[in-house]
């Protein structure tokens, strides 16, 4: 079964809600979250300082999902985060593993 790395960029204000959604909807999937700077954010979603420097403080969440889970995750994001400016994309994982 193909696996994808599903990346989500969001503001820190909605980070906890997003993490809760992933924890409850995909409890067995591995995911990470990290603070980042994003570029290309709409000016209305940026503070005045962020508009001057051209980047905004954001959070990147990456979750390893199947093709089917990717579709479900997209539907959940649209349902719960419409209007928040969340950006997302998925890239194929060539291989993965765990060293136990």
Q: What are the pLDDT digits (tens) for 13-68?
A: 899 999 999 999 998 878 999 999 877 655 456 566 666 566 677 899 999 999 99
Nearest 10 degrees: Cα torsion 8, 11, 14, 17: 30
Residue 70 contacts residue 2 (beta carbons within 8 Å):
no
pTM of the model: 0.85
In the chain, what are the domain boundaries? 3-92
Please provide the CATH number assigned to the domain covering 3-92: 3.30.70.120
DSSP state of 25: H
């Amino acid at each position: 079964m193909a696996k994808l790395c599903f990346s989500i960029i969001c503001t820190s204000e909605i980070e906890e809600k997003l993490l809760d959604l992933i924890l409850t909807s995909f409890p067995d999937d591995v995911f990470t979250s990290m603070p980042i700077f994003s570029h290309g954010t709409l000016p209305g979603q940026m503070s005045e300082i962020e508009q001057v420097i051209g980047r905004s403080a954001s959070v990147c969440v990456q979750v390893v999902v199947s093709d089917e889970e990717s579709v479900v995750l997209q539907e959940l994001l649209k349902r719960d985060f419409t209007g928040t400016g969340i950006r997302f994309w998925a890239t194929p994982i060539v291989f993965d593993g765990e060293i136990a």
